[in-house]
Amino acid sequence: MEKPNLPANGCNVDEGSLPSSCASLAFPYVPMQCENPLRYSRMEALQTGTLFPGLDLPFKEAIQSKTKIKNTALVELMALDFAVDELGLYLVTHAEDKEALQLYWSYIRLSQEGREKYQKLYGPLTQTDLTPEEGFAWLKDPWPWDLGGNE
């Protein structure tokens, strides 16, 4: 049997290439989640990149060391929205998990309440949160990231 012609970089079909050498291609792995898995707090989930410790990636600690986030009203909303998204994805495959479903709805309520309070203090978070009477309200100062705008 003839050997297939190798590409110019000298790597076989099942190998990726690094500068001046070959390396194996990555093979993705997604662990299966059990019912009622352990969960991080919302803030820890936002910093870690997952709500579930069982889905931690090997480089989690490197990510966490670079994402120390000050806990502000806006960051809390981000953490709630992240947790809602993560729980929604989890519930797609674990629809019978009543505890996760209850937590999902409670986080949605907290997010809605927090968004209302935040917008009363600082204005709309997105363009779609405006009414025609408000016009371009997001252009008014101070913006949340301006000094004193998000305290």
List the domain boundaries for the chain.
40-139
Q: What angle do CA 107, 112, 114 make, to 5 degrees?
A: 90
Residues paired with residue 23 on neighbouring β-strands, in sequence order = 16
Distances (CA, A) of 40 to 31, 63, 65, 140: 17, 15, 17, 36
Question: What integer pLDDT is reported at residue 109 of this predicted model?
Answer: 94
Work out the percent of the chain whose per-residue pLDDT is above 70. 56
* Structure confidence at residue 87 (pLDDT): 92
Four-point Cα dihedral 84, 115, 129, 44, nearest 10: -40
Q: Is residue 15 predicted with pLDDT exceeding 70?
A: no
| pLDDT value at residue 92 | 92
Residue 59 has pLDDT above 70, yes or no: no
Tell me the mean pLDDT in the region 26-55: 76
19 touches 34 (CB < 8 A): no
Look at residue 135 and tell me whether its pLDDT is greater than 60.
yes
